[in-house]
Chain A
């Protein structure tokens, strides 16, 4: 697929490529469309054999029930605070540690990095009980801080920023800045983030989603529904025997809207970041 601007063959090739990508994209969003369509039908229609693509009788009753039976906006607000705090700290800790691991030789560099990587390999179900005991010792059970703390660092965030620092931050640039008399803190806090802007935006999205979809930890650490984030609040609809799939779908649609919006906004930032880095040549 050789692409030369202006050539007719290339244009046709490009259009076909887009068509294939769009087809794949439709497959990707189909399950989501299914959730949306399910959230808009009355309960008996969920049992139609065979199932229909669109509701026969459109209804908002699932959304009404969702908002009537749970403080969805409290959950939403809690989730936003939680995700934003987590994202800010993950960005900070990951960028700093990733940069140090990538660009500084010091005794224990490799050992520490392997330790970081190794902790990413352990399933949460294994260490959550000791972690919970630690939080309890600090009297952080049922406290927002207890919820936030484990989400302030992200093993693979550090790994991610290290890999991106290797790719996107040339040593020559750092040395030049040092020769110009720039301090280490200045380089790390002012120059490096500019070079890493696209990676940081990507990490921000991932960290945001990670906090947004967290379930087991909020479940363990929080007791008061007024403190629940969305995913935990939604679980009461999704997991009983006689699940009302219509309401569950409505909840899922409502829960993913903010992340969708955040992604669209942050994606622009990525593009912006690239134009910034384009300057580096």
Chain B
């Protein structure tokens, strides 16, 4: 056991000044944060050990019952599988495409043309999700959809985009990747443009080709920003909901097939079946999985950099 005062004495006064600065600056931000995110989240997680129907505050403590029941809940298992497939595919595709695009737009195609192309790819980010999903539903339409008409030009038979369980998942992935590329693109572009031009020029003088510059300059220098993009895309993909809900909803009375995802299942258990304690336990599982994935991603990319 070290004497805490002893430890304190070893900190030089300059560091104390730094600590004070950190405390002054960070406290208000973290206080807001604590109040707006941490406290309500903690409350919800606490409720995962209770039978909580949302309406009545007094609830029955059930220990780990909710967690145990979930493990044999068919809906939860199918939601988990679907969401994981969706999240992996969406993250790989949207980050991968955005990365290549960003590399091209940062170095090869710049100026007005570059800006225009950037705008084209960014537009989907700006469109509200509900109407655009209704629009995609028309595009995916089996009988008269543009997509199947286009495939027909290449001699590919019509695909049941919205009614076959696997195709429905693919359709949601396509729609989500489409919506995400622009978002990831501008984040990665900012990172790439921040890489000083001299690095590339020096490499070019040394005879490094575009691929070598990309591999040995862009990729490693961009690692922190790429990590950010991958992590937030994974998180937002695991939280997918609106697209799935609208594609399978009653609007205009022609629902597609429901791709059950975790947040949908949480919504159904919590707000339809009034089993919010159960739904909270589901959210804790979701949380743990994303947390684990995030740590793996941190490790992996940190490893890649050194």
Contact = CB atoms under 8 A, between A and B. Distances in A.
Are chains A and B native binding partners rather than an unrelated pairing?
A: yes
Interface of A: 1-3, 14, 17-18, 21-22, 24-26, 28-32, 34-35, 38, 49-51, 93, 96-97, 100, 104, 106, 112, 115-123, 125-131, 134, 149-150, 152-153, 155-156, 158-160, 163-164, 166-168, 184-185, 188, 198-199, 201-202, 205-206, 209, 213, 231, 234-235, 238-243, 245, 248-249, 251-252, 255-256, 259-260, 263-264, 267, 270-271, 274, 277-278, 280-281
B228 A163 contact: yes
B259 interface: no
Contacts of A128: 40
A167 B229 CA distance: 14
A32 B124 contact: yes
Interface string B27-54: 0011011011111110110000000001
Interface stretch (B67-75, B153-161, B165-173, B190-198): B190-198
Interface in B109-139: 109, 113, 115, 117-132, 134-136, 138-139
Contacts of A118: 287, 291
Contact of A121 (B122, B187, B224, B291): B291
A256 B126 CA distance: 6
Contact of A134 (B40, B127, B187): B40
B80 interface: no
A103 to B, nearest CB: 10
B116 to A, nearest CB: 8
A29 B224 contact: no
Contact of A274 (B25, B194, B250): B194
A115 B31 CA distance: 13
28 contacts: A2-B209, A18-B109, A18-B113, A22-B120, A28-B121, A28-B124, A31-B124, A31-B136, A32-B124, A49-B143, A100-B25, A104-B22, A106-B22, A115-B38, A126-B266, A126-B279, A153-B36, A163-B227, A164-B190, A168-B194, A202-B186, A213-B129, A238-B134, A239-B130, A252-B128, A260-B123, A260-B126, A263-B122
Contacts of A281: 196, 198
Contacts of B104: 17, 21
B126 A209 contact: yes
Contacts of B235: 120-121, 156
A97 B29 contact: yes
A249 B131 contact: yes
Nearest to B195: A167
Given A238-B130, A243-B251, A252-B127, A129 B138 contact: no
Contacts of A160: 187, 228, 232
Interface residues of B, number: 100
Nearest to A109: B22
A-B pairs, 7 with minimum CB distance: A25-B120, A252-B131, A130-B40, A130-B43, A131-B40, A119-B37, A126-B283
A200 B283 CA distance: 32
A104 B18 contact: yes
Given A167-B225, A168-B194, A198-B193, A153 B128 contact: no
A60 B156 CA distance: 37
Given A2-B209, A3-B107, 8 more contacts: A22-B117, A119-B33, A125-B266, A130-B39, A130-B40, A130-B41, A160-B228, A270-B190
B29 A96 contact: yes
A123 B38 contact: no
A22 B225 CA distance: 26
Interface string B191-227: 1011011100000000001100000000001101101
A29 B120 contact: yes
Contacts of B129: 213
A55 to B, nearest CB: 14
Interface centre among A14, A100, A264, A278 (most CB of B within 10 A): A100
Given A96-B26, A184-B18, A35 B283 contact: no
Nearest to A51: B144
Contact of A126 (B39, B41, B124): B41
